[in-house]
Amino acid sequence: MLLLGACAGWSLITAAAQGGRPEGVLLAVLALAAGYAGGRVSGALLPVAAPCAGAAAGLVLAVALPGLSPGPWYGGPLGAAGGTAALLALAAGAACCAAWASGVPAHRLGLAALACATVPAGLVLGSAAGCVAGGAVLLCALAAGSAHGRGRWLAGLAGAAGLVSAGLWAVTTGALPGGLAEAVGGWFPAHRVPQWQDALRLADHHLALGVGPGRFGAPPGVGGTLPADGKPHSAPLQQAAEQGLVGVVLLAAVFCWVLYALWRTARPTPVALTAGAALTALAALASVSNALSFTPVTAGAGLLAGWATARPWST
């Protein structure tokens, strides 16, 4: 609560100091908090049925709303908008958590089938990122069944999220070798890297407070066949540009706290690690897409974290 309150408070402070519209940040914080509270309550009452229903709902939303993003779709191998890929990753994680929480073999088989459905769903929807993210969550869920202790695994997930952020910084600053930079740059539309570079320049010039929430605009020269939506399509860079260094620290602190809560949860280790893998996949997607711009994604992340940290009444 303190961290989420700090996120909301800092967005209001930067908006008052620099101007801007903090409503988007406040809505995301509210959705995350509401999802987490709902996940804790429903996970305590229905530890298997609640995440199962959430997985089905996430899959239905991803299929029913393939144009979840109002902005441009990716033209490269990443596929469709980040919101669709994030929903598929969260749905796979919720289904696997429900499977690990169930002690009935038939139920586990059905829930595993539901989780596996996210991979072909990503292919059908044209979201290669969603297909890869769903598959990665499935593999982590399988590995979680034989895990002994969760601290090292969760630390590894935190390190993976950090590597994605470091890779994003390397691409944006041109620190990668020429051939590798061209290969990685081909995964994104032509205007994406210039947007990231523009966000980084704004962050350098406004390190303390940023330019204010919602004030990041499309950089000059963005155009062509793909409409620009004026966002950097990267949660860390958007936070850095709009809310300065403190905004980035708060964003990272929320993710680290979730992993800490999963480390301390009384739920079985496979449930905690599977949820951590799905949320890490979401963090990776949010680093290179607009995944956190959608309320269903932020609410779904809160729900999954709540389900994985709830204490069932039966225990």
Q: Identify the CA nearest to 157 among candidates 79, 75, 273, 60.
A: 273
Please report which confidence band the pLDDT of residue 219 belongs to, taking 50, 70 and 90 as the band edges. very low
Distance CA 234, CA 284 (A): 10
Report DSSP letters for 121-190, one per residue: HHHHTT-HHHHHHHHHHHHHHHHHTT-S-SHHHHHHHHHHHHHHHHHHHHHHHT-S-HHHHHHHHTTS-T
> How much is the pLDDT for 187?
73
> How much is the pLDDT for 225?
34
Q: Picking from 45-59, 147-161, 214-228, 244-258, which range would have the lowest pLDDT averaged per residue?
A: 214-228
> How much is the pLDDT for 246?
95
Q: Cβ-count burial of 233 within 10 angstroms (0-12 exposed, 13-18 middle, 19+ buried)? A: buried
Q: Cβ-count burial of 80 within 10 angstroms (0-12 exposed, 13-18 middle, 19+ buried)? A: buried
- Answer yes or no: is 88 within a domain: yes
Q: Which helix (H) or strand (E) covers residue 77, if one does?
A: none
Domain tally, the chain: 1
Length of the chain, in residues? 315
Distance CA 138, CA 153 (A): 15
- Answer yes or no: is 108 within a domain: yes
Each residue's pLDDT tens digit, 264-305: 999 999 999 999 999 999 999 999 888 888 899 999 999 999
Distance CA 291, CA 276 (A): 17
Give the mean pLDDT of the chain: 86
> How much is the pLDDT for 263?
96
Count of other CB atoms within 10 angstroms of residue 261: 17
- Answer yes or no: is 314 within a domain: no
How far are the Cα atoms of 2, 212, 285 from residue 133, in angstroms, in the given order?
Answer: 30, 32, 8
State which residues form the domain around 198: 2-309
Q: Identify the CA nearest to 141 among candidates 304, 5, 7.
A: 304
- Answer yes or no: is 157 within a domain: yes
- Opening angle at CA 292, ends 291 and 298, nearest 5: 115
Amino acid, single-letter form, for residue 310:
A
> How much is the pLDDT for 217?
62
Please report which confidence band the pLDDT of residue 63 belongs to, taking 50, 70 and 90 as the band edges. confident
Helices then strands, each counted (H, E), the chain = 13, 0
Which pTM was predicted?
0.90
